[in-house]
Structure 1
Amino acid sequence: MGLFDAMATSTMGVSAQSYALNNISGNIANASTAGFKGTDTSFADLLDQTGSGVRMTSRASTHVQGSVATSDVATNLAISGNGYFVVRQNTGSTDAPAFTGDTAYTRRGDFAPDANGYLANGAGNYLFAGPSASAPVRVSSADSASLASVSVANDGSLTATYGDGSTKSLGQVTLAQFGSQDGLEATDGGAYLATDRSGPPSFGLNGATLTAGSVEQSNVGISDQFSKMIETQQAYTANTKVLNASDEMLQDAITMYV
């Protein structure tokens, strides 16, 4: 390998490890975010006539479920099995909500009533019972304060129970299913958009179960991510040393001929 090849390869290595560190830092920052799916970094050798290097790609671990923990919020929902909640952002205002934006899909189920009683998760994504629903699932604002519990039937039907013992149907929630979860496009707040790679969603529980008063946790392990960070930092340092050594050798070579 020539001097310029060494510089090019080490430069690509520094870039690749920086890319990996960015993914790792994002995983660590969201280790306690409900429903978060970590992003892994894959490396592949890249060989051509000018030398060698590495190509990096990101892959969301959407297929790996986080643990389900009980919460003290009755409207929190957790999925056990495959599937995603159907959600949309409020494109209007608090006083005049509108939900005309893109339909997205998420595992983040920390839903709670907003000022109007609509169920929204911590990222501001509103829960829709299904793709044809015209408005989010709603517990009226007057009822929110007296809400005692929510139960989920096997078909996804939600029933709220209030402090006075009365009950109310909140609708039947279905889940979006994808043939290729890895093909989903990640957006803000732990939500995803369908792509050509993921294919269009089908809808149904498909064997999955919903549990109220529970939240799926992040599937990221802090100890694992810190171990990866140490390994990646060491690789980054090794590449910078090669780059610096190559630069010094090049400067020496130039000096010899000046």
Structure 2
Amino acid sequence: MDLFTALQTSVSGLQAQSYAISNISGNIANSQTTGFKRIDTSFVDMMSETTPKREVSGSVLAQSQLTNTIGGNVVSSSVPTNMAINGNGFFTVVQKTGDSNGAATFSGTNVYTRRGDFSQDKDGYLVNGAGGYLTGTNLDPVTGQATSTGLIKLGNSSLPAQATTAITYAANLPATPATTASATSGSDLYNQLPAAVVLTGTGQTGVSVPSTDAGTFVNNSIAGPSLTTYTSTGAPVTLSTRWAKVQDASTTPAQPAVWNLYYASDPSASANATSWQNVGTAFTFDSTGKLTSPATSPVSLGAVTVGDYTYSNLTMNVGAAGLTQYADTSGAVTTNTLSQNGNSAGTLTSVAVGDDGKINGTFSNGSVLALASVGIAQFANPDGLKADSNGNYLQTADSGPALVGLNGSTITGASNEQSNTDIATEFSKMIVTQQAYSANTRVMSTAQTMMSDLLNVIR
């Protein structure tokens, strides 16, 4: 290497350190930018000669080293639609391109970002602080099915009234029920009324216990599930039920334990003053307490009339092991699960983002339902993405195609991911860069002195 090459090499060193200080300054400037990923600098040596035993260090090349896979700290936010990704992945967003005839127009190209400070704009779309509009799947809150893909729009959603059509129920019925009549009748069986109002097998039709016999019925039964159901207009109706054991299990003669379920026909009357309708199904249990009949679920309760409203085909889902008959010292029903699928009309009061990326809405009627699913993309090589302004990244050949879904990552709602820039580290790199830059200037001045000495030889 001659003196002129040394000068050129020192110039490349100055350029490389200038490139490094540029990245450092950008990192420090964006230390408070939401979702920013710092850019480090790596240096590549370039050999001027590679002949064996004559290898000479040459110029240096500075290159950017992305840190897209390194997450920043996650901090809480007061905005419920702010969100941060825990793990790998990027939010899928599009950019607004303008307004046409009073409607916003958007770019058809997806870009990707870690900036999750999303909030609703005037039209109900979710947009982050850099102008990226969040995409994903909009869901029907009633059915949970997808209604559209693309821009997520919340707005002022409303929930229509829905009549109750199904009840989900799981409970243990006591092997020896404690009824009011148990102590005096010497039996825990409901055997005080005509056989016409009880069912012990299949092929029978449930008969109503008249209100005149309601007192006897209540004394020989135990309280079952009681819940609020809804009519087609969203009016609440209280459905009160009672369980009656109508047959004990025995080996001689061989017979299973049988229970009947009844509901109060008049929700406004007391238990002793209303008629009680048999739902028309015999629930049988074997000697181990396992439900043997009905063998399928859900169980049809038929047309259920409560007050002046009739549920045309109400069903009860007890699952594979939802109903059991085990010994219980209390002698009462132990309810494990009780819910129904109806609701009154409601308006959206608040939203929250779940770990699974679902945006859930809370409605004025108490229902919590999914409104949308956030669009998330992952890449085989995230550091191969091309960065642009506004904290966005573009897919490249080096990054590979976008893989849709969280794939093991989670979402934290009401939170923001901070920049992954560490000020102390950047200051340390700044000192080293400044020293390296100064050293390269000394090389230039030394090479210049040596050339001056060489020229002085011929004077």
TM-score (norm 2): 0.51
Give the SS at the match of 2:105: coil
Asked if 1:122 is matched to 2:129, the reply is: yes
- Computing the radius of gyration from Cα coordinates, the structure with the larger value is 2
Q: Any stretches of 5+ residues in structure 1 without a counterpart?
A: none
Q: Which residue of 1 aligns with 2:391?
A: 190
SS in 2 for 1:198: coil
User: What does 1:7-46 align with in structure 2 at a 5 Å threshold?
Assistant: 7-46=7-46
Distance 2:22 2:157 in 1: 44
From 192, 215, 239, the equivalent of 2:416 is 215
Range that drifts further, 99-108 or 216-225:
99-108
Root mean square deviation, CA, Å: 2.8
Q: Give the aligned residue type for 1:219.
A: N
Deviation at 1:228, TM superposition (A): 0.6
Specify the alignment match of 2:91 in structure 1.
85
User: Could you tell me how far apart the structure 1 residues matched to 2:156 and 2:24 are?
Assistant: 40
Larger mean Cα displacement after TM superposition, 192-201 or 237-246 = 237-246
Deviation of the 1:6 alpha carbon: 1.3
Instruction: Show the counterpart of 2:61.
Output: 55
Q: Displacement, 1:256?
A: 6.2
For residues 228 and 164 of structure 1, what CA distance do their matches in structure 2 show? Answer: 57
Counterpart secondary structure, 1:189 = helix
Q: For residues 147 and 230 of structure 1, do their structure 2 counterparts lie closer, same or farther at Cα, with a shift above 3 Å needed?
A: farther
* Distance (Å, rounded) in 2 between the aligned partners of 1:101 and 1:53: 44
Aligned to 1:67: 73
Equivalent AA in structure 2 for residue 129 of structure 1:
G
Structure 1 residues 169 and 240: alpha-carbon distance in aligned structure 2, compared to 1, 3 A threshold: same
Query: Deviation at 1:251?
Result: 4.9
Kindly indicate which of the two structures has a greater share of residues assigned to strand. 2
Contact 2:379 2:403 in 1 (8 A): yes
The unaligned stretches of length 5 or more in structure 2 are 50-55, 138-145, 159-346
Aligned to 2:151: 136
The one-letter amino acid paired with 1:83 is G
Does 1 or 2 have the higher relative contact order (CA < 8 Å, sep 6+)? Answer: 1
Q: CA deviation at 1:119?
A: 1.2
- CA offset at residue 135 of structure 1? 4.1
Distance (whole Å) between structure 2 residues aligned to residue 33 and residue 147 of structure 1: 32
Structure 1 residues 149, 4: closer, same or farther in 2, change over 3 A? farther
Contact kept, 8 Å, 2:84 with 2:416, in 1: the verdict is: yes
**Contact (CA 8 Å) 1:148, 1:162: kept in 2 or not?**
yes
> How many pairs align?
255
Equivalent-residue separation in structure 1 for 2:57 and 2:420 (angstroms): 38
Structure 1 CA distance, aligned partners of 2:104 and 2:348? 22
The answer to whether the aligner puts 1:103 opposite 2:118 as a matched pair is no
The alpha-carbon distance between structure 1 residues 6 and 112, as it changes in their structure 2 partners (threshold 3 A), is same
Q: Which residue of structure 2 lines up, in the alignment, with residue 158 of structure 1? A: 359
CA–CA distance in structure 2, aligned partners of residues 8 and 256 of structure 1: 23
Name the SS of the counterpart of 1:64 in structure 2: coil
**Structure 1 residues 31 and 163: alpha-carbon distance in aligned structure 2, compared to 1, 3 A threshold:** farther
Relative to structure 1, the CA distance from residue 18 to residue 226 in structure 2 (aligned partners, 3 Å threshold; closer, same or farther) is same
Report the CA distance between 1:163 and its aligned residue: 8.3
Amino acid at match of 1:18: S
**Corresponding letter in the other structure for 1:28:** I
- Which amino acid letter does the alignment assign opposite residue 421 of structure 2? V
